[in-house]
Chain A
Amino acid sequence: MKKGMISVLASVISILVGLLFGLLLLIVVNPAMAFPKFGELLTAGVSSLPKLAKVLYQAAPLVMTGLAVAFAFKTGLFNIGASGQYTVGAFCALACAIIFQMPWWICLIASLVAGAVWGFFPGLFKSLFNVNEVITSIMFNWIGMMAVNLLCMNLKNAAGQLVMLPTAWVSSPIKDRTAALSYANPSAMIPKMGLDRLFQSNYMNISIFIAALVAVLLWVVLNRTTFGYELKACGYNKNASIYAGINAKRNIVLSMVISGAMAGLGGGLYYLAGTADYTIQKALLPMGFNGISVALLATSNPIGTIFSALFISYIQVGGESLQPVYAKEMIDIIIAVIIYLSAFALLTKNIISKYIRTDKTNVNAEPVPPAAPVPAAETGAVDSGEVPEKTVESEGEDK
C-alpha cells in the first residue's frame, strides 16, 4: 500500500471519528433535533451556491496558515506564530489599501512581506542563539496583535483624522474596526472576475485559486528543487545537513521567513476580500491556530492543505446552520472536537500502517520525488455531502 494512500485514509478516518463524536454531542444536548441538524451540518456547505462561496472564501486564508505550519513542519520547525504573522500581514495589506491607496496585488505583496518579517525574527533567534522558535513566535503573536491594534487606533493622516478607522471616510460612530474597503479603496479588493455573480455571493473572489496556486508552488519547491531538498535535510537531520555542506543556520531563517510569508498572505487574502473589516482584537486570531489543524490533517503535505482547509471551512459553515437550535458555544465545541480529532491524522496513520503491513519506521517520510502526490482529506470533504437540503440563511458577519 502506498504511503500517500495511507495518509489519505488516516485523514478520512480521523474526520469520520470526529463527526461521530460531534453527533453524540448533539444527541446528548438535544436528542430530538440531533439527526436533522447533524444532516444540515454535513450538507450546509453545498446546500446553495452562496454557502459554497463562503466555504471557498474562508478556506483561502486557512490554506495559507495551514501551509505556513506545514512548511515549517517539513523543515523541522514548529511555527506556532502563524496567528501573529497573519495579523501583521492583514494590517499591512489594509494599510497599503487604505492609507496608500494601492491596488490589490501590491497590498497582497505587502501582506506577504509583513508575514515574512514576522517569521524572520523567530527564525533568526533560533539560528543564532538556539532560542526555541515556539517561545519566540508565541511572543511575536502578542507583539504583532497589540502593535496592530495600536496602529489601527492611532495612525493619523495629514488632516489629523484616524485614517484606518471608518470615521476618516464616512460619518460613522464605529471605532473598533477598520474602514471598509468598499468606500476606502475599492481597487484594493481582490478581483471577483464575475465569480460573485456566478455564485450569487459577495464572498466569492479569486482568493482560493491564489491560495491553491501557492500550495502547488510550495509543493514543487519542497519536492522538486535543491532548495527544498536542503530545507528538508536540515529539518530531518541538522547534523547531517551540516556535514553535507548545507548552511543550516541560513536555512532555518529562510524556512521561517517563507512560513511567515504564507501566513501573512493569508491575512491579506482574507481582509482584502472586502467583506470583513479588521476588528480591534483582545485575543489572538484563531485563523493561525486553525492552520495547525489544517497542517496536521494534511500530514504536512502542501497539496493536502488545500483539501483539509476546504474541509475545515466546510464544517465551520455547516456549524452555522445549527443555530438557533443549538447554542453558538455548542457549535464551537463540536467544530473544535471535529478539528481536534482530525488532527489525530498522524496518529491514525501510525496505527493504520501498523496493521497494514508496511514499513512502520518511516510513516512520516516524504513521498519519493517521482511518485505522484496524493492529496489528503479530499474524500473527507466530499464524502460528507449528502442530498443537499435547504438551510436557513445565516448571518454574514465574520467577526
Chain B
Amino acid sequence: MSEYVIEMLNITKEFPGIKANDNITLQLKHGEVHALLGENGAGKSTLMSVLFGLYQPEAGVIKKDGVEVKINNPNDANALNIGMVHQHFKLVEVFTVLDNIILGAEPNKMGFLQKAEARKKVIELSERYGLQVDPDAKIEDISVGMQQRVEILKMLYRDNDILIFDEPTAVLTPQEIDELMEIMRNFTKEGKSILFITHKLNEIMAVADRCTVLRKGKYMGTVNIKDTTKEELSRMMVGRDVKFEVDKAEQKLGDVVLDVQNVTVPSKIHANNAVKNVSFQVRAGEIVCLAGIEGNGQTQFVYALTGLDKMSEGKITLCGHDISNAKIRDRSKLGMSHIPEDRHKHGLVLDFSLEQNLVLQRYWQPEFQNKGFIRNKEVREYAEKLIKQYDIRSGQGPVTTARSMSGGNQQKAIVAREIDKVPDLLVAVQPTRGLDVGAIEYIHEQLVAQRDAGRAVLLVSLELEEVMSVPDRILVMYEGEIVGEFNPKEVTVEELGLYMAGAKNMYRDVGAKEQGKEREAE
C-alpha cells in the first residue's frame, strides 16, 4: 500500500483573471492531521474543492492509495470516503439536525424513510466522538458550534475517513476549539486522515503533524510541525515577518461618544431576556472590547445597538443624540459604522460586484450619486482605492462578484468599507474572523489608528488573544449581563476566563447565588 491515502499532484485550477492553484502538490499520509496554510485568497478552499469534486482542475492528477482517481462531483468524493466541512456551512436552515445529517443518504426500505435507524446511528456516533447535538432541533435555532458538529456528523454518518475541515475554528469559541482538537486527535487514532485549513498558527502547532503552505496560488513547501515554529510558518506564508503584538500609542481620551443605559433586549428563543440591563460608555480615543463566550447576549446587544433589532428597555445615546429608536440609516448618518458578525447574512450582497458592495453604506451620498443616478466612475475609483489600500484580492478587481471571492477577502472588503466611512463609533464584531495573520495585523493597526484619530471603537470578540491585545478596556458579558470590567494590562487570561464562564462576577457574589443562599453581597 502507498504511504499516502491521498495525493494531489501538480494541480492547476484557474478562474477568470486568476490562477487560484498553480501547480500545487499535496500528499496526505494515513492517520495524520495535515494543515493547509496560506494567506486569504491563496487558494486553499479551491484546492480542497477540487479534491471534493466541486471543481475540475485544468491540470494535475489525484491519487487515492496510489491509484489515480477521477472525482467529478461530491458523490464521487463520497464514494472514495472523502468528506468536507465547508468554510461556510451548507445546511438546510429549516430542517432538523437529523434530517440534515441523513440528507442525500437517507436510509430507506422500498422508498420509505427509515428514520429510527438513522437516529440510532447518529446518536451512537455523537456519543462515541463526544459530538453533542440535539437531533430534533432546527438548524436555524442552534449555535454555529453545534452546526459544525452537525457537519462533522454528516461526514461520519457517511463513513468518510478522509476528512477535510475548511477553517472549522473561525466560528468557534476557545472551548469549542479545544474540543474540536481533541475530536480530531481521536479521529486520527482510528486511522482517519485529516486535512485542516486554519489561519491560527497555535492550532496548527497543537494538532497538526505536517503543514503545507501556499502563497498566491503557488506551492511553498511542506514542513514537519515538530521541526518548525509559528514565526517560520508565518514567514513562509506571507513572505515577511509578522508582528503578533499590537503597538499602541499613549491614550488620549475624549468625550463620551456612546452612552448605553440600562439596555434590555428580549430573547427570540426563550422567555428570558437575552441582554439584561446593560450600561456602559465608550469615549473618543478608546477601544472597548465586549468579551465573552459566544451566545451570552453579545449578538443581541449589537443588534439593538445598530438597529437591526429592537430593545425593550433602556436608552442609547450616540454623540449626544438619542438613537434608541432611530432607523439604521440615521444611525449611520450620525456616525456609526458596523462590521457585522455574519458576513454572508448582513455584510455582503453576494451577487453584487465587489465595487457595488464597497458602496453599500454610501451609494446614496452625493459623492456616489447625482439626482438618483449612480456615478459609476466615482464608484469605480473609490473601489479601486479601497482594494489597493486594504489589499483585497480577487480575480477581476472591482467587477468581481462578491460570491466568488475567498472568505477572508470578503471580510476585508467589509472592514474596508466600514472603516473608510470615517465613523465616530465603529462597532466591530469579530472583525478579523477568517483573516490570515498578515491581514489581522493590518486590521488591528487600523482599529488602533481609529482610536488614535480620536474615534470610539467598540470591539466584540471571542478571540482571547485579540481581547488581550487590542482594547484599552475589557467588559465581560455573561448571560446577558456585564459581569466585569478590566484593564487588559492588569488582568490575566485565566482571571478573564473565570468571569466569562460565570464563575465570578464583580457586581454580585456568584458563590452565594449558586448555593441558593439568601446572602446578599456587601
Chain A contacts to B: CB under 8 angstroms: 224-227, 229, 232-233, 236-237, 239-246, 357-359, 361-362, 364-366, 368-371
Contact = CB atoms under 8 A, between A and B. Distances in A.
Given A243-B328, A364-B351, A233 B372 contact: no
B346 interface: yes
Contacts of A358: 16
A178 to B, nearest CB: 40
Interface in B354-408: 355-356, 360-361, 363-364, 369, 372-374, 376, 379-380, 395, 398-399, 401, 403-404
Contacts of B353: 365, 368
A226 B363 contact: yes
Interface in B400-441: 401, 403-404
Contacts of A241: 349
A359 B395 contact: yes
Given A359-B15, A359-B404, A245 B329 contact: yes
A366 B356 CA distance: 11
Interface string B1-39: 000000000000011100000000000000000000000
Nearest to B58: A357
Given A233-B360, A362-B350, A362-B404, 8 more contacts: A236-B351, A237-B351, A240-B360, A244-B360, A245-B331, A246-B329, A359-B404, A362-B403
Contacts of A245: 327-332, 361
25 contacts: A225-B372, A226-B364, A226-B369, A229-B363, A233-B352, A236-B350, A236-B352, A237-B345, A239-B345, A241-B349, A242-B308, A245-B328, A246-B329, A357-B16, A358-B16, A359-B16, A362-B351, A362-B401, A362-B404, A365-B403, A368-B398, A369-B374, A369-B376, A369-B379, A370-B376
Contact of B348 (A225, A240, A357): A240
Interface of B: 14-16, 58, 306, 308, 327-332, 338, 340, 345-353, 355-356, 360-361, 363-364, 369, 372-374, 376, 379-380, 395, 398-399, 401, 403-404
Interface of B is mostly: mixed
B349 to A, nearest CB: 5
B346 A239 contact: yes
A351 to B, nearest CB: 14
Given A240-B360, A243-B340, A361-B401, A370 B380 contact: yes
Nearest to B361: A244
A242 B328 contact: yes
Nearest to A357: B14
Contact of A361 (B14, B364, B374, B403): B403
Contacts of B306: 243
Contacts of B347: 240, 243
A103 to B, nearest CB: 31
A359 B355 CA distance: 17
B217 to A, nearest CB: 16
Contacts of B373: 224-226
B456 to A, nearest CB: 20
Nearest to B417: A244
A304 to B, nearest CB: 18
A2 to B, nearest CB: 10
Contacts of B399: 368, 371
A224 B14 CA distance: 32
4 smallest A-B Cβ distances: which pairs? A245-B329, A362-B401, A243-B346, A245-B328
Contacts of B332: 245
Contacts of B16: 357-359
A225 B368 CA distance: 11
B374 A226 contact: yes
Contacts of A369: 374, 376, 379
A27 B15 CA distance: 45
A243 B380 contact: no
Contacts of A368: 353, 355-356, 398-399
A329 to B, nearest CB: 36
A365 B405 CA distance: 14
A368 B263 CA distance: 43
Contacts of B379: 369
Given A244-B360, A244-B361, A370-B376, A236 B349 contact: yes
Contacts of B329: 245-246
Nearest to B306: A243
Contacts of B340: 243
A228 B115 CA distance: 47
Nearest to B347: A240
B395 to A, nearest CB: 7
A364 B353 CA distance: 12
Contacts of A240: 345-349, 360
A362 to B, nearest CB: 4
B350 A237 contact: yes
Contact of A365 (B374, B398, B401): B401
Nearest to A246: B329
B277 to A, nearest CB: 26
Contacts of B401: 359, 361-362, 365
Contacts of A246: 329
Nearest to B356: A229
Contacts of A239: 345-346
A243 B338 contact: yes
Contacts of A227: 372
Q: Which of B58, B347, B349, B404 has the largest count of A CB atoms less than 10 A from its CB?
A: B349
Given A243-B328, A244-B361, A225 B345 contact: no
A226 B340 CA distance: 23
Contacts of A362: 350-351, 401, 403-404
A282 B222 CA distance: 73
Nearest to B353: A368
Nearest to B330: A245
Contacts of A229: 356, 363, 374
B76 to A, nearest CB: 16
A229 B399 CA distance: 15
Interface centre among A236, A246, A365, A371 (most CB of B within 10 A): A365
A227 B374 CA distance: 9
Nearest to B355: A368
A358 B379 CA distance: 25
A369 B369 CA distance: 13
A244 B360 CA distance: 6
A294 B421 CA distance: 42
B376 A366 contact: no
B56 to A, nearest CB: 9
A366 B399 CA distance: 10
Contacts of A361: 401, 403-404
